[in-house]
Structure 1
Amino acid sequence: MKRIAIDMDEVIADFNSKMIPIFNTRFNTQISLADLEGVTIQQLRPDIKEQVEAMIGEAGFFADLAVIPHSQRVIKKLTETYEVFITTAAMEFPLSFDAKFRWLAEHFPFISPMNIVFCGNKSILNADYLIDDNARHFEHFSGEGILFSAPHNKQVRGFRRVNNWLEIESMFSL
């Protein structure tokens, strides 16, 4: 059975819909999703990078992210044909483990806890496909990287790209 590894943030969990309003309130600014084209918030505002990362690193930050449309249904269908793992680079924000685990249990209860991988460098993953919004994870990944579109990766080329879960559904002929 082929394996699909799926990233969490900006692939199944809508990070930006929470991050942008909280960022704007906390730092008294007005950025929009369009402002993040080609950059992360930390790259957009390097002057407050440490404060932004501390905010993201708060224990409950990831607890109530919205679910990316169609991801639940499509991933459920994928599990009928593929071995599916949720793989999140949580080592950057270690206090996020509990919130991310609980979020996955709530929104993706059909994914076994044994198929949830908290890691740093995703090159350790042994899968046929990795669906991720960050192309750096494909660099040493042995399978095929599939780039999930996000504002920060609009300029990235060289990988098969999907814009939403309906395209993934079509790609895997579900």
Structure 2
Amino acid sequence: MEKIAVDMDGVLADVYHQFIQMHFEESGVLLQEKDLEGLTEYEAFPHILKHVHTPGFFRTAPLISDSQEILEKLNHKYEVFIVSAATEFPLSLAEKQAWLNEHFPFIDWKHMVFCGSKEIIKADIMIDDHFKNLDFFEGQTFLFTQPHNTHKVNGKHKRVHSWKDIEHFLI
């Protein structure tokens, strides 16, 4: 059975929604995703480090549309691993595991990989929103569109704009 490594933040969890909401609560300015296109997350959200260190940030992130249903379908066809860079933000470890347990109960703890660098990850397919995680990967890669990667191009990675796109290519 082929293995798929699926990123969490920006692919399953809508952390952009979290950042936008927290920015609004602090500044009163409601950012639009289209206005953030091409900006790194650090450029778009000046208080990003404060946000990711806020208790509950990762635990309360909303789901990206269609991710539950389609990931469950993938889980019947592939061996699915959730691979998340979590060790940089220690609070995120328990919060991410609790979030996954709540929203993706069909993914067992043995298929949750919390790491720093994803360079060690070996699978057949990787779905991620960051080039830094996809560029070194030796298997098939899917770049999940987020504002920070909208204007970047790399012919090696197939761009997907939604979970429906992933379903089209992989199921």
Q: Once the two structures are superposed, what CA deviation does each residue of 1:58-108 show, in whole Å capped at 9, x if it has no partner?
A: 231111111111111111111111110001111221211111100000000
Q: Determine the structure 1 residue equivalent to 2:67.
A: 71
Pair 1:147 & 2:156 matched: no
Report the counterpart of residue 162 of structure 1 in structure 2: 160
Aligned equivalent of 1:40: 40
The unaligned stretches of length 5 or more in structure 1 are: none
Aligned with 2:71: secondary structure? helix
> In structure 2, what is the equivalent of residue 8 of structure 1?
8
Match for residue 119 of structure 1?
A: 115
Q: Residues 72 and 107 of structure 1 are in contact (CA less than 8 Å); yes or no, is this contact kept in structure 2?
A: yes
Alpha-carbon RMSD across the aligned residues, in angstroms, is 1.4
Query: CA–CA distance in 1 between the matches of 2:62 and 2:51?
Result: 18
Could you tell me the TM-score, scaled by structure 2's length?
A: 0.92
Give the whole-Å Cα distance in 2 for the aligned partners of 1:74 and 1:28: 35
Shift of 1:55: 1.9
CA drift at 1:28: 4.3
Q: Which segments of structure 1 move beyond 3 Å, counting only runs of 4 or more?
A: 27-30
Check conservation: 1:123, 1:142, Cα contact below 8 A: no
Q: Distance in 1 between matches of 2:61 and 2:50?
A: 17
SS of corresponding position for 2:35:
helix
